[in-house]
Amino acid sequence: MTMPAADTIEREQGKLYLSDAELIRRIGVPEKYMRKILPGLESKYGFPRKQPLFNNRRYWPAVKAWLDKRNGLIVATSQPAGRVSDD
């Protein structure tokens, strides 16, 4: 895979749904290795799956939360959408 231009990478930073190529670039693991382990990450470790509704792309915030949890970072939780606090 060729590396995209710097301005392309800059434009991609705000994307929420990523192709596997974009995801692999963002994670920074060699493509050959990552493509080999992705199926196992999904089936054995709960890695976020591709979403058919969004052209078989993965939701980046879910992938980042998975990576953060996997690496021992505390993931902040928020209230479910539509709920109003009694405060």
Amino acid at 45: Y
- At residue 14, the pLDDT reads 85
- At residue 2, the pLDDT reads 65
- At residue 13, the pLDDT reads 75
What is the domain extent for residue 58?
15-70
- At residue 65, the pLDDT reads 96
Domain assignment present for residue 61? The answer is yes
Q: Are 42 and 49 in contact (CB under 8 A)?
A: yes
The sign of the CA dihedral 21, 23, 26, 32 is negative
pTM: 0.73
Domain assignment present for residue 49? The answer is yes
Residues of the chain with confidence (pLDDT) below 70: 1-12, 75-87
- At residue 3, the pLDDT reads 66
Query: How many structural domains compose the chain?
Result: 1
Both tokens of residue 53?
């509704």
- At residue 74, the pLDDT reads 75
Domain assignment present for residue 43? The answer is yes
